[in-house]
Amino acid sequence: MARDLKVDIDGVRLNVRVGVIVRHSDEVLIEISKIGLNSVVPGGRIKINEHSSKALARELKEEMNFELDENKLKQVKVFENFFSFDGKDVHEIYFLYEYAMNESELKSLKLDVNEDNESTYFKFVSTDELEKYDLLPLALHDIIKGRMN
């Protein structure tokens, strides 16, 4: 099996990740931690030799058993994210997509549990309520609300 695209260089971790802003009506889907403060949009690490859209489809299948229609994906932005995690500096390359979910897809979602990580769950929140969640990376707030640079 291919390994995640992450490498430690001179004490800094380089991550390559993908995320998706799943929209339904005026709401977006976020992944909420049961044990920490932070939330993220669905996604995960890209594996070596894996296209970012394929990684996204794989992650959503693993986490929510959701069959993503890759033809509906729209790439929004690629950006860098810098942070510290568990005492290690991280430099992250982040591929961000957007996906408009229809009613039949919404009915097929499993939101109350992450099948790949029992310490998180998924929830749709209105864009007005996003400020209540510590959504990371921080740039997502502006991007979701259409204020991206």
CB burial of residue 146 (10 Å; 0-12, 13-18, 19+)? exposed
* Fold of the domain spanning 6-144: Nucleoside Triphosphate Pyrophosphohydrolase (3.90.79)
Q: Tens digit of pLDDT for each residue in 11-69?
A: 999 999 999 999 999 999 999 988 877 899 999 999 999 999 999 999 999 998 899 99
Helix/strand/coil for 1: coil
> Looking at the DSSP assignment, which residues form a beta bridge with residue 43?
19
Beta carbons of 47 and 4 less than 8 angstroms apart = yes
Calculate mean pLDDT across residues 91-112.
Answer: 91
Reading the block at residue 28, the tokens are 């977006």
- Domain ranges across the chain: 6-144
- pLDDT value of residue 59: 94
Confidence of residue 148 (pLDDT cuts 50, 70, 90): low
- pLDDT value of residue 2: 75
Beta carbons of 18 and 95 less than 8 angstroms apart = yes
| pLDDT at residue 149 greater than cutoff 60 | no
